[in-house]
Amino acid sequence: MSRWLEKLNEIEARYEALTARLGDPAVLQDPSAYQKAAKAHADLSPLVERYRAYRKLTREAAETRGLLKETIDPDMRNLAEAELKDLERRAAALEEELQRLLLPKDPNDEKNIILELRAGTGGEEAALFAADLCRTYVRYAERQGWKVEVLSSHETGTGGFREVILGIEGKRAYSRLKFEGGVHRVQRVPETEAAGRIHTSTVTVAVLPEAEEVEVQIDPKDLRIDVYRSTGPGGQSVNTTDSAVRVTHLGTGLVVTCQDEKSQHKNKAKALKVLRARLLERAQAEQRARIDQDRGSQVGTGDRAEKIRTYNFPQNRVTDHRIGLTLHNLPGILDGELQPLIEALTAHFQAERLKAVS
């Protein structure tokens, strides 16, 4: 028996044990124990149901093969062959789904995220596209019913961002957006380009799982906190008080600045939230050595050659270079219609993981 089938048998046995446990009078009288067992039972239920459906299909396919060996009548054979083909097709689809469901879950998938966007190659045009991408992710989050907060931003005088950091809270936010990390390239004619020439610019995106305080404990002795007067666009209170905060983590050299709030206390809290996420990501990258958790590999240097996705305005085209997917719906995608890209990327990387463990 294949290892994945053995594992499914073990899971089914555990599911049946949990079913019996939920009927145990002692458990019924203990709300905490009952809730724990009920959650575990509910978590396993979809997988067990699919496994049982798969077993049923394989049994029916075996019976149909036996019938084919015994059947001489041509019409009956044709019917049996068509039925067998359908059963095998459905069983193969369920087998693929079951193997995918058995893959180890990413422990970060349920987390909220810190989304960092920075202008790369291209000067002011890169900063303007950073603002465009920021709106894209905000619109996508709104479509999902998620909460978005600007944790830090450094605007340019023309409405672009040299850097903007968003905190996004929502169900499985990291699982949806974790493949957005990397260099995003834009090809378009800037409004300031009189000759109509197409310019190429880049924006780097990093997607970090938000860290809880219990996951990353920061010793105040390891921090240097500087306060200063905010600069750049903003209300008069922002620019005339020493409310901006720069937090330096002495152990790693990581630096986070925040100046968006009028309150120094609020800016410090936001900066520590970003720092905690960066420290968690750093620790996970070092511990697991997985490229998709390495913030450096997500962001790179911002050079055009490192692109993961291209947004071509003249051709109304968005191409994800990792999976070779091209969509001709650039305005819709920039308005937050990212789901086709997200679903395709998720399916691709799940398939890659299946190959790695098979």
pLDDT in tens, 145-194: 999 999 989 999 889 999 999 999 999 999 999 999 999 999 999 876 76
Q: 244 or 353, which is more confident? A: 244
Residue 175 to residue 177: CA distance in whole angstroms: 6
Q: 281 or 201, which is more confident? A: 201
CA R_g for the chain: 26
> Which runs of E-coded beta strand occur in the chain?
113-119, 147-155, 161-169, 182-188, 199-209, 223-228, 244-249, 255-258, 307-312, 317-320, 325-327
- Band (pLDDT 50/70/90 cuts) for residue 357 is low
Residue linked to tokens 């990258």? 285
Using CA atoms of 187, 192, 194, 196 in order, give the dihedral in degrees to the nearest 10.
10
Domains and CATH numbers, the chain: 3-101 (1.20.58), 113-352 (3.30.70.1660)
Q: What is the pTM of this model?
A: 0.66
Res. 223: pLDDT tops 90: no
Residue 185 to residue 322: CA distance in whole angstroms: 13
* Mean pLDDT, the chain, whole residue set: 86
Residue 201 pairs in a beta bridge with 186
Q: 108 or 145, which is more confident? A: 145
Annotate 299-333 with b (16+ C-beta within 10 A) or e (fewer). Answer: bbebeeebbbbbbbeeeebbbbeebeeebeebeeb
Res. 334: pLDDT tops 90: yes
Name the token pair of 265: 């206390």
- Band (pLDDT 50/70/90 cuts) for residue 294 is very low
